[in-house]
Amino acid sequence: MLHYWNDYWGLRVGECPCDVHFTDWMDAQALRDASIFHFGTGGHHHVGIHAAENGSNCAVLGITAAPQEYDTYVKLVIERPEVGRLYKVLFGDIYQLDARLLPQFDVVTLFHLCEFRTEKNDEYGALTDLQMATLLVDQLRPGGHVLFYTKSFAFAAAEPVIAELARLRPLRRVADHELLQVYRLEG
């Protein structure tokens, strides 16, 4: 059986501000026409809605493992099709991504690295956190960015994965933004 999250995450900025910090970073960078992969949409879909409304023409591909959050996305784009033009959401286990099905990205968010993978994923041969992160970094265009959330409950487990990822790929840490660590792909 697929390992999924049977819950709904609303926008609780006091508890988890990563998506708001990210949209603030997008605005501070004056990001335009970028292709973004967003791990963990939340039922609020803040990142996708922001990108669709802020005039940046950024396109966001999000992924959620929560059926409730996916259902909220479906309702959102039925009611607001203008959001659906630039924002798409996949339902599934991020540890089952296949690079052949993904475009290149300018930005990848890995705010929830190491939060969800368990032995349940092993039952169907899912990627590890490092394999998944490497796969997504390999989809980055040169000069692209990957961001991590330092207050994730799993950040201590993610730190060695991030360090190994930076050893394996030409990632250079650049200026952090709020509670986000920001890396740039060199080359």
Q: How many domains does the chain have?
A: 1
State the Cα–Cα distance between residues 183 and 133, nearest whole angstrom. 13
pLDDT tens digits for range 80-137: 999 999 999 999 999 999 999 999 999 999 999 999 999 999 999 999 999 999 999 9
| Residue 92, in any domain of the structure | yes
Residue 149: domain span: 18-185
What type of residue is 21?
Answer: H
CA gyration radius, the chain: 15
The domain that holds 49 is classified in CATH as 3.40.50.150
Pairing of strands 87-91, 171-177: unpaired
E strand intervals along the chain = 35-39, 59-64, 87-91, 105-109, 140-149, 171-177, 180-185
| Residue 113, in any domain of the structure | yes
Q: 10: helix, coil or strand?
A: coil
| Residue 5, in any domain of the structure | no
Q: Which residue has the higher pLDDT, 24 or 4?
A: 24
pLDDT tens digits for range 15-34: 779 999 999 999 999 999 99
| Residue 6, in any domain of the structure | no
